Amino acid sequence: MVSARNSTKIASARNSTKIASTRNSTKIVSAKNSTKIASARNSTKIASARNSTKIASARNSTKIVSASNSTKIVSARNSTKIVSVKNSTKIASARISTKIVSARNSTKIASARNSTKRASARNSTKRVSARHSTKIVSARNST
């Protein structure tokens, strides 16, 4: 996915996840069971080792609680929530929100304004979009 303002990119390798967005953006790069996050304005940085987590948050703070190879994130304006199961990720953000619920190597996404819903099974992905549907490459306030 590549979108403009308030956009999100996701690319995952083995048990890893990369997210890169523009304004109010969040980047996640995880190694084996590790996670790094660097966001722009309202930024948050996270660097975790195996089953460990470090957090440095800016203006709009972020909280993280990680289990074995899991991560939870809750941030403020343009917020992001992440809850991961084994090698899975959930994301729920506020303004121009995005929600991701994944099972083992699966992903669900449900966003509010300009909403998009995804329901995936193991290693599968489904999309159901509501008002103002989402495209892989979308413009302002897209996902």
Q: Model's pTM, two decimal places?
A: 0.12
Q: Alpha-carbon Rg of the chain, whole angstroms?
A: 14
Q: For 109, which DSSP code?
A: B
- How many C-beta atoms surround the C-beta of residue 65 within 10 A? 12
Start-to-end CA span in the chain (Å): 7
Mean pLDDT of the region 78-97 = 45
* Half-sphere exposure of residue 48: CA atoms within 13 angstroms, side-chain side: 28
15-74 pLDDT tens trace = 444 444 444 444 444 444 444 444 344 444 444 344 444 444 344 444 444 444 444 444
